[in-house]
Structure 1
Amino acid sequence: MFFTYLRRELRRRRKAALVVASGLALGIALVIVVNSVSAGMTQAQGKVLESLYGLGTDMTVTKAAAPPGEGDTVRRPRFQFDAKDGDDDAEQSQDIVMVQGFETLAASTVAQVGKQDGVADAVGGLNVRVMKVNGKFKRGEFEQEPGQEGKPGGPAGGEVRGEVQGGGADFDVNSYSVYGTDVAHQGLGPLTSSKVTSGRTFKASETSAEVAVVDSAYAKEQKLSVGKALTISGTKFTIIGLATADSGDAAANVYLPLAQAQTLAEAKDKVTTVYVKATDSQQIDSVKATIQKNISGTTVTTSADLADTVSGSLSTASDLASGVGKWLSIVVLVAAFLVAGLLTSSAVSRRVREFGTLKALGWKSRRVTGQVAGEALVNGLIGGALGIGIGLAGAWAITAFSPTLTAQLAGGAGGADGGPRAVMGGGGPGGPAQSASEALDIALTAPVSLTTIGLAVALAVTGGLIAGGFGGWRASRLRPADALRRVE
């Protein structure tokens, strides 16, 4: 009887049911879209951090920045070329290999960090920048003015007028980033954010081997390939693999075994960054506090700290989604609930004769209330189904068009300020592709999780119950006498 009457009433009042369901559907669809966009923002931000930190890294440890006026003098690149007699056109070439941007830590710090409570793994890395200058000098030639040919020079013959023509210098400067990776522990660090697409990665036994993995974009630019040699400061490294960054921007141009990078940069037993993975992602803050307390002179930066420095359109869109978007969806949803409740209550007032007659026939108030609540709940479920459909369509459209957002990390290029950007050495190991003056382009997606779908269903049921509560309360107050007074 309940379902038969329910089906007949919903069919008889299709327009009213559609209005209530549509209002709920719009509110639920907006909630789905906002939640999916927020999830997409989180994923996009995660890609930015992974391109710098590496996959699975929860925090990094670097040496604390020295107060202004203290510490060693900033090292500046200095190129010196030998004069070669009798060969003016001789090629001149020199590499300067420097630790990137900030002070180093002793390699023993990696083991110290690994022993701290809450640390699952710790791996050291060395960020290095190579500046290569090559070219040649050309001596100019003295040319006499017209009419001066054959005129003897010197005090006796008088002054010979003319000028030096040609000559000068032609040098090419190439700067690129190098990351020294612990080949025996490749589970952490920036190299994990890239996938080897040609050749192979390092073997655990190649701790001191003269081999290199090169970023595919840099290899294309420099016409490098697997099997070719890359010469750095006189040492030839065989390219064993090409790596493509997952986010489109590589952490470094060249990856070398840690020992080789330390030798090139004259930083034996030194590292610039310790990459840390926590045993529990919910306890990262406590692990950070433990490391800072037990290992003095270090700066610990978590992925959350770095996320706070992300700027650009990604940050703006994220703020809109988490702020304006969520509040807007809440307001629309509340309005939809209220409208559904008021429409249901209004519909009950137009059915006074019907409900009064049913009571006169023996229906109890709770049965009438249940009937109204059932109708409202079905309206809510219909609205939920429509809302999920509209929300999924909206999320699919966002993913299909994939609007591009830019992300930029704050901090100076030198990394001397010790801020989060300095963790990667001021651009690096990311180098020019991730310098402070350039931004990362991230394609926005809008993934819809089962949790979001579950939330939509819960909202649909809630909306139906709220509307049913309004209508049921109104129906429970009706008396059979009200129906008799309306009989014409």
Structure 2
Amino acid sequence: MFFTYLRRELRRRRKAALVVASGLALGIALVIVVSSVSSGMGKAQEKVLQSLYGLGTDMTVTKAMETSEEGGERPERPRFSFDAQAEGSGEEQSTDHVLVQGFQSLADSTVDKVGEQSGVADAVGGLSLQVVKVSGEFTRGRFQQDGQGGQDGGQGGPGGAEPSEGGRVQGGGADFDVNSYSVYGTDVTEPELGPLTSSRITDGRTFKASETDAKVAVVDSAHAKEKELETGDTVTVKGTKFKIIGIATAESGDAAADLYLPLKQAQTLADAKDKVTTIYVRATDSQQIDSVKSAIQKNVSGTTVTTSADLADTVSGSLSTASSLATGVGTWLSVAVLVTAFLVAGLLTSSAVSRRVREFGTLKALGWNSGRVTGQVVGEAVVHGLMGGVLGIALGLAGAYAVTAISPTLQAELGGGAGGMGGPGGGPVGGPGREAAAKTLEVALTAPVGLTTVALAVGLAVAGGLVAGAFGGWRASRLRPADALRRVA
């Protein structure tokens, strides 16, 4: 009897049912879209952090540069020496200067000490370098006496003889290019930690665990394209040739470095034996990161521990703004719309009951008790809610799909290295060897819809129906058969 009467009433009051269901559907759809966009924001922020730290890294350990009493430590400045003698004139010369970038160097033993702390699953050291390459040549000038053409026998310029009176040197000089690129020394025995994990090998292969001191290199794809490098080519750093075994492409944002080398080779190039600039740490339990951070800071003196949460606080730009809007304004807007939809559904149901006084009064006169009448009204409201839920899920999925299809690009601005924040390779935020100035990453926004979101939508639909049913049921329970008789009269 219940379902027969329910089916008849829903068919007879299709317009009213559609109005109630539509109101609930809009609220539920908005909740789904906001939830999916917020999830997409979270994934976008994870990509930004992965481009800095690499996969699997929960925190980094660094040591800030020591400052002098005069107002700060002066950074090391490269010095270059060239042979400018006549016999070398006209020949290209080049020299590399390798600088340790980022924070103050830490001893290799510090990596082991960090790894021994409670709650640390793994710890790996890395060395960030900046290579400044100066290459070019000197050109000898030509001596010319006043009033005469140039004389091949008279030479001037770098390393040449002094010109005699009544003449001058024309031409000559020096033409040098200055290029710089970043190098990251990675522990090849621990491939699952460090900035290289934020890139995927698109050509060739990555390092083998046995290549701890091999003269091999992995090159970032952007750097390889710029320098026209391919797998199998060689690159020369400070007179040492390295064979390119693979090309790596950053999954998001810029790569951690232009060139990746085995850690021992990087230490040799920088004259930094047994030194690292950053220690990458993975915790045994992601819920205990704060306690692990405290333990490292307490037991490994002089170090700064930076967690992913700390680094996330430095992310600004449209990604941060949109994330704040989605979690703040979007959430409150969803709640407001949903509460309004529930109230409207309840009022509409109560109003519908008021128009059905004669019907419910007659049913009571025929023997229906108040509980049965209330159950009938609640049942109809729950069906309205489920209809709204189905419609809302469809609208929400369409909205989330539209966001994913459009994939709007958001910018994440990463601040400099102030406050001990470490970027990949231990350098300032933005990569080893990068300047401390802000760096901008572009991230495509998606709106993934998970099963949890769908389950939440179904729960909201049922809740909306129950709220509406509570309004209508309360109104129906107060009706008396005499009310129906008055309406008939």
| Fold shared per TM-score above 0.5 | yes
Aligned residues: 477
The equivalent of 2:157 in structure 1 is none
| CA distance 1:387–1:428, change in 2 (3 Å) | closer
CA–CA distance in structure 2, aligned partners of residues 22 and 172 of structure 1:
68
Q: 1:363 aligned to 359, 368, 371, which one?
A: 368
How far apart are 1:164 and its partner, in Å?
A: 4.2
Task: Provide the residue aligned with 2:161 in structure 1.
Answer: none
Counterpart position of 1:39: 39
Q: For 1:439, what is the secondary structure of its paired residue?
A: strand
Aligned counterparts of 2:436 and 2:390: Cα–Cα separation in 1:
47
**Residue number in structure 1 paired with 2:198:** 193
Encode CA deviations 1:307-332: one digit per residue, 9 max, x unaligned.
Answer: 11101111111111111111111110
> C-alpha distance in 2, partners of 1:250/1:240?
17
Alignment of 1:383-402 (within 5 A): 383-402=388-407
Alpha-carbon offset, residue 188 of structure 1: 0.3
Instruction: Indicate the residue corresponding to 1:64 in structure 2.
Output: 64
Deviations 1:161-217 (A, max 9, x none): x65432232211111111101111111000111111111111111111111011112
Change in 2 beyond 3 A, CA 1:163/1:481: farther
| Counterparts of 1:144 and 1:245, CA distance in 2 | 60
CA distance in 2, matches of 1:437, 1:428: 7
- Please report how far the alpha carbon of residue 76 of structure 1 lies from its aligned counterpart in structure 2 after TM superposition: 1.2
DSSP 3-state at the match of 2:40:
helix
Whether the aligned pair in 2 keeps the contact of 1:292 and 1:299 (CA below 8 Å) is yes
Whether the aligned pair in 2 keeps the contact of 1:399 and 1:445 (CA below 8 Å) is yes
| 8 Å CA contact 2:195, 2:424 repeated in 1 | no
Q: Which moved more, 1:469-478 or 1:88-97?
A: 88-97
Instruction: Please tell me the residue identity of whatever aligns with 1:375.
Output: E
Aligned to 1:155: none
Cα distance in 2 between the residues matched to 1:148 and 1:383: 97
Looking at structure 2, the residues matched to 219 and 96 of structure 1 have their Cα atoms a distance apart, in angstroms, of 21
CA distance in 2, matches of 1:420, 1:391: 39
Distance 2:353 2:424 in 1: 66
Residue aligning to 1:439: 440
Q: Contact 1:197–1:243 (CA<8 Å) still a contact in 2?
A: yes
- State whether structure 2 residue 93 is matched by structure 1 residue 92: yes
Alignment-derived partner of residue 377 in structure 2: 372
In 1, are the aligned partners of 2:49 and 2:312 still within 8 Å (CA)? yes
Helix, strand or coil at the partner of 2:420? coil
* Whole-Å separation in 2 of the counterparts to 1:427 and 1:462: 47
Inter-CA distance 12–231: structure 2 relative to 1 (3 Å threshold):
same
- For residues 17 and 433 of structure 2, the distance between their equivalents in structure 1, rounded to whole angstroms, comes to 60
Mapping of residues 73-472 of structure 1, within 5 Å: 73-143=74-144, 160=166, 164-412=169-417, 417-421=419-423, 424-427=426-429, 429-431=431-433, 436-472=437-473
Matches of 2:485 and 2:146 in 1, distance apart?
A: 127
Evaluate the alpha carbon distance shift between residue 67 and residue 337 of structure 1 in structure 2; reply closer, same or farther with a 3 A threshold: farther
TM-score by length of 1: 0.94
Aligned to 1:484: 485
1:146-166 Cα shifts (integer Å, max 9, x gaps): 57999xxxxxxx963x65432
Please give the alpha-carbon distance, in whole angstroms, between the structure 1 residues aligned to 2:134 and 2:429.
21
Amino acid at match of 1:218: H
Partner of 2:6, secondary structure, is: helix
Counterpart of 2:187, as a letter, is: D
1:279 counterpart letter in structure 2: T
Letter in 2 for 1:26: L
**What is the letter of the counterpart of residue 171 of structure 1?**
F
Q: Give me the CA root mean square deviation.
A: 2.1
Mapped to 2, the partners of 1:389 and 1:435 lie a distance apart of 47
Question: 2 CA distance for matches of 1:350 and 1:212?
Answer: 81
Q: Secondary structure at the match of 2:328?
A: helix
Q: Distance in 1 between matches of 2:373 and 2:488?
A: 20
The structure-2 alpha-carbon separation of the partners of 1:20 and 1:145, relative to structure 1 and needing over 3 Å to count, comes to farther
8 A contact 2:128–2:425 mirrored in 1: no
What letter is aligned with 2:269? L
Deviation at residue 35 of structure 1 after TM alignment: 0.6
For 1:23 and 1:436, how far apart are their aligned partners in 2?
49
Contact 1:127/1:428, CA 8 A, preserved across alignment: no
Compute the displacement of 1:97 (Å). Answer: 0.5
Question: Please, which runs of 5 or more residues in structure 2 have no aligned partner?
Answer: 152-163
Alignment partners' CA distance in 1, 2:262 and 2:397: 47
Deviation at 1:244, TM superposition (A): 1.2
Residues 108 and 275 in structure 2, CA contact (< 8 A), matched pair in contact too: yes
Q: Do the aligned residues in 1 keep the contact of 2:6 with 2:379 (CA within 8 Å)?
A: yes
Percent same amino acid at aligned positions?
72
Q: Deviations over 1:340-382 (max 9, x none)?
A: 0010011111110110110111000010000000000000000
- 1:486/1:256 Cα in 2 relative to 1: closer, same or farther (>3 Å)? same
Would you say the 8 A contact 2:423–2:431 is kept in 1?
A: no
Which digits, 9 at most, give the CA deviation of each residue in 1:107-129, with x for residues without a partner?
A: 10110111111101101100111
Letter paired with 2:22: S
